[in-house]
Structure 1
């Protein structure tokens, strides 16, 4: 069987281009994830990896749709190979049944990872510039109108820190960061 795997980074992105390719290639079954490829913790990828069996071929539009770093790519392909499943990436024209194909897979995987690192670096640089210009302030802090009252109860020992976090609906790190800022007098809630 030919098994197609499609991934886009967000719910809003369109999968039609990849779906058309899969149809043209005569793919029998398609798995679609609409989430980041930064790791392999993707529901449809997991289902596909469990579903495939000896003699199947997994087809992707490009390596970057399958994995975003070399380690994940090589691990996924190794798992497929162990099951007797071939891997084909149309964009890079890869066939993992040959030594050259396996070598090229490693090279293309490294290039895909490098591309992702460049994207993240440009994003960080853009945010830094925007912050310097006062155009980026990060997301707004969660408003906690009862924060002072709940922290006072906690400090008097009337409630535990865990209870305070539950009442305020904040994480442990958020709670203690805000308590520290409140104690330093830098903010008030």
Structure 2
């Protein structure tokens, strides 16, 4: 069987281009994730990895749609290979049934990872410049719950545990302690 995998990073992004390509290639089944590619913890990717079996071919539009770093890509392809499943990336013309295809997969994975690192670097630089110009102040803190002061007072007196105070205020540990110390 031909198995197609599609990934878009957000709900707003349109997977139509990838879907059209895979339909033109007559794939039998399509798995679609609307999630970041930063790791392999994606529901449809995991479902596809369980679904494929010996003799299948997984087809993606681009390796960047499958994995964002070399390690993840190579691990996923290794899992497919162990199941005797082929991997094909149309954009990069990679076919893991050949030694050259395996080599090219590694090279393109490294390039995709480098590209992602450049994107993150530019993002960090842009945020730093925006902060210097006073245009970026980060996320505004959520307002404190109405019962925060009363609960913290009880906690400081030893009447309730920190865990109980967090439960009553609905705050997670890091947030609770940070807000207590502010």
Report if TM-score (shorter chain) is over 0.5: yes
Alignment TM-score, normalising by the size of structure 2: 0.97
| Superposed CA RMSD | 0.8
Query: For residues 108-119 of structure 1, what are the structure 2 equivalents within 5 Å?
Result: 108-119=108-119
Q: Which residue of 2 aligns with 1:172?
A: 173
Please state how far the C-alpha of 1:132 moved relative to its aligned partner.
1.1
> What is the Cα deviation at residue 163 of structure 1?
1.1
The C-alpha deviation readout for 1:75-111, integer Å capped at 9, x for no partner, is: 0000000101000000000010111110110000000
Residue in structure 1 matched with residue 142 of structure 2 by the alignment: 142
The equivalent residue for 1:40 is 40
| Aligned-partner SS, 1:6 | strand
TM-score relative to the length of structure 1: 0.94
1:75 aligns with 2:83: no
Does residue 160 (structure 1) correspond to residue 157 (structure 2)? The answer is no
Distance 1:166 1:125 in 2: 38
**3-state SS, counterpart of residue 152 of structure 1:** helix
Shift of 1:138: 1.0
Distance 2:114 2:49 in 1: 25
Q: Distance in 1 between matches of 2:166 and 2:137?
A: 25
Question: Paired residue for 2:60?
Answer: 60
| Distance in 1 (alpha carbons) for counterparts of 2:135 and 2:150 | 33
Structure 1 residue runs of 4 or more that deviate by more than 6 Å after TM superposition: none
Q: Work out whether 1:89 is the aligned partner of 2:83.
A: no
Number of residue pairs the alignment of both structures matches:
181
Match of 2:103 in 1: 103
Q: Deviations over 1:18-55 (max 9, x none)?
A: 00001000000000000000000000000000000011
Residues of 1 paired with 2:90 and 2:54: CA distance?
Answer: 21
